[in-house]
A and B are shown apart, each in its own frame.
Chain A
C-alpha cells in the first residue's frame, strides 16, 4: 500500500523568506510523487511531479521539490515566499500501474501555508 505523510498542519513564513513544506512517502517500488495547491473553495491545481531523473524538480509559480530516496522525502520549496503563495498544499503519491489501478493517487492531509507581509 502507498501512503504519504505531511507532518506539519501549518507553516508560517514571512514574505521574502524561503519556505519548505515537508512530505514523506511510503511505496513499494519506484515512487511517482506530486505536489498540488488548493485555494479556498476551489479544486486542486498541479504544481510539479517527480517520476524519474534529477532529484530537484521545478514546477509552477517558482516552486521546486527535492526528492530524497534515502529519507523517503519529497519536500516542497521556494527560495522567496510571496503573500499570494498562502494556500493549502497537498503531497500525493500515484500508483504507477495504470492498467490495474488507473493511476490512482493517495494524498496527504495537507499543509496550510501562511505567508505574512
Chain B
C-alpha cells in the first residue's frame, strides 16, 4: 500500500542532544513538508521541499534542519538549539497538482 511512514512514534531527547525524525513516502509525491503541532496552536510549518536537493524554511525553522537527498525521504533533525522541542511532529507529502496532503501518523518528541 502506498503511504507515508514516520518513525519512531515516540522519541525522548535529553538536554543538549540532537535527534532525527524519519519520514519516508512511496507515493511518488514531489513535495514534502514538516509541521509541528502544539495544543491549541494548530500546525506550524517548519521546512518544506518541492524537489530533491532543495528545501526552504517555513515559519518556525530555527533549531531544526532537514535534507532531501532522495525523493522518498525527508528527515528532520531537531538540534540542541531548539529550546522547546516537546511537540507532535507531522510529516506530509503532496503531488504537484492541488490535491490534499497525505500525512504520516506523527512522532511525539519529549524532552527529558
Q: Which residues of A contact B (CB under 8 A)?
A: 9, 32, 34, 36, 41-47, 49, 51, 90, 94, 96, 98-99, 101-110
Question: In the complex where A41-B106, A90-B43 touch, is A96 in contact with B98 (Cβ < 8 A)?
Answer: yes
On chain A, the residues within 8 Å of B105 by CB distance are 42-43
Kindly list 8 other residue pairs between chains A and B, CB separation below 8 angstroms, not including A45-B103, A98-B96, A105-B33.
Answer: A34-B100, A34-B101, A46-B102, A102-B48, A102-B49, A103-B96, A107-B43, A109-B41
For A59, give the chain B residue with the smallest CB separation.
B100
**Alpha-carbon distance between A87 and B37 when the two chains are bound, in angstroms:** 15
Question: In the complex where A98-B31, A98-B96 touch, is A43 in contact with B48 (Cβ < 8 A)?
Answer: no
On chain B, the residues within 8 Å of A110 by CB distance are 42
Q: Is the interface of B mostly helix, strand, loop or mixed?
A: strand
- Counting CB contacts under 8 A, is B90 at the interface? yes
- Measured between C-beta atoms, what is the minimum distance from A113 to chain B in Å? 15
On chain B, the residues within 8 Å of A108 by CB distance are 42
Is A41 a contact of B56 with CB atoms below 8 Å?
A: no
Q: Which residues of B contact A (CB under 8 A)?
A: 6, 30-31, 33, 35, 40-43, 45, 48-50, 56, 58, 88, 90, 92, 94, 96, 98-106, 108
**Alpha-carbon distance between A47 and B6 when the two chains are bound, in angstroms:** 21
Question: In the complex where A42-B106, A46-B101 touch, is A104 in contact with B42 (Cβ < 8 A)?
Answer: no
On chain A, the residues within 8 Å of B56 by CB distance are 101-102
**Alpha-carbon distance between A99 and B98 when the two chains are bound, in angstroms:** 12
Is B33 a contact of A104 with CB atoms below 8 Å?
A: yes
- A to B CB contacts below 8 Å, 25 in the list: A36-B100, A41-B88, A41-B106, A43-B92, A43-B105, A43-B106, A44-B90, A46-B99, A46-B100, A46-B101, A46-B102, A49-B98, A49-B100, A51-B98, A90-B42, A94-B98, A98-B50, A99-B50, A101-B50, A101-B56, A102-B56, A103-B31, A103-B50, A104-B45, A104-B48
